[in-house]
Every structure is written in C-alpha cells, then in structure tokens.
Structure 1
Amino acid sequence: MSQATQKQPAREEQRQVQTVRSQIEKKFTRGEKYLIALIAIVIVVTAVLMVSNYASMYGQEQDISQLQSELNQQQQHNEGLEHQVSELSDPERILEIAQENGMELNEDNVTVLQP
C-alpha cells in the first residue's frame, strides 16, 4: 500500500504541472493580437504608400525629361530663326534688293539706328 500512496501524490503533481503548462502555453492575449495586426496593417500601408510615391516620382521625372528635350528643340529652332533674321536683315542684302527695285541711295536721308 505504501507504493500506491506514493504514486498518487506524483500523479497529482503531474496534473498540477500540466494545468500550469496549459495556462502558460497561450502565446498572445486578444489585445496583443489586435496590436500585432494593427502594426502589420500600418507596415503594409506604409510600404504601399512608399511604392506609389516612388512610381509617381518616376512618372514626373519622365515628364520633366520630355519637357527638357522639347525645350532644347525649341531653343535650337529659335537659334535657327535668329540666324535667319540676321541674314535677312543684312544691310548689303537690303541695299541690293532696293537697287533691283529701282531705288537709289541718298546719303543725306540715311539715318542710322542703334539697338
């Protein structure tokens, strides 16, 4: 009988240990789970916002480079027109065209304008 009495306290200790372990095995409380879910949502939303901002910046950089190339083309066109204006406003050319149309140069009526 002594062995039977000795086995009963050992079983009771095992039951107590098992009940304590089952209570400890819970990993997270409900509030902690909500907090973890909230943090995960915030991280995902932040990542999505960052990616969308980078995509927007990339699109704007493309627009800027396109506008820059259009600006360079327009500047080249303007320079060509300025060169053409300087060629067409050459005094010798104007005098030649005037003489072809029957005009004569009168030195007394010549007025020199300076820009």
Structure 2
Amino acid sequence: MIILDNLAHHLQPKRKEEVEKKVNRSPIEKPKKFRITLGEKILVIACSIVLATLAITIVSKSAVIYLENRELQTLEQQVENQLKINRDLNFQVTELSSPERIRKIAEEELGMKLDSKKVKFVGQ
C-alpha cells in the first residue's frame, strides 16, 4: 500500500498544477465588434443618395426617350399617310388636266367646238 499511497500522492499535485495552469491562462480575447465610424456612415449615405439620384435620372430619361420615340413614330406615320394622299391627289390632277378630257367637257357640256384655224401652239 505504500506504493499506491505514494503514487496517489504524486498524481494529485499534478492535477492541481494543471488546473491552476488552466485558470491562470489569460482569458481568450473576444473579437471586437466591427463598428462603423461617423465618417463611414456619412460616406455610405452620400454614395447611396448619389446612386439613387443616378438611378432615378436614368429611369426618367429613359421614359422621356420612350415617349419622344413614340411621338416620332406617330409623326412619321402621319407624314407617310399625307404623302400617300398627296400622290393620289397629284394623280387626280394629272388625270383631270388631260387635254382630251378638257376638250370632251368643252364640246359636250359647254357646247364649244374646236376650230383648228384659230388654234395657236405656244412652244414649250
């Protein structure tokens, strides 16, 4: 029993030393919380305002461009329609001003007769 008693005596102080070493260790430092400074907050707010302003400007300009393009297409369509009307009217003018038609109306409706002795041609 002496051997066991002596052995137990040697084991107990080692355990106390280990416990003391664990207790004496410096406590683990907790990581510091990340703090945002006032200047950083101001920069973030300023950048956010600038980005929001740019986004709003881009969207509003895109809307204006869309409306202007739509108006331009409407005007181009109106011009095309007017050109078609003008072509049709020019064709009618050409038809109505033909010499044969004028002579026919003059003879049938107005009772006029063509006297070739009195006709004079003017050079073009």
Give 1:99-110 correspondences, 5 Å limit: 99-100=107-108, 101-107=110-116, 108-110=118-120
What is the TM-score of this pair, normalised by structure 1?
0.75
Matched residue SS, 2:65:
helix
Shift of 1:97: 1.1
Higher share in helix: 1
Runs of 4+ in 1 over 6 A off after TM superposition: none
Q: Does 1:36 align with 2:44?
A: yes
List gaps (5 residues or longer) in structure 1.
Answer: none
Shift of 1:95: 0.7
Match of 1:51 among 34, 45, 59: 59
Higher relative contact order (CA 8 A, sep 6+): 1
List gaps (5 residues or longer) in structure 2.
Answer: 1-16
What is the TM-score of this pair, normalised by structure 2?
0.70
Measured on the aligned residues, the alpha-carbon RMSD in Å equals 2.4
Aligned length: 103
Matched residue SS, 1:109:
coil
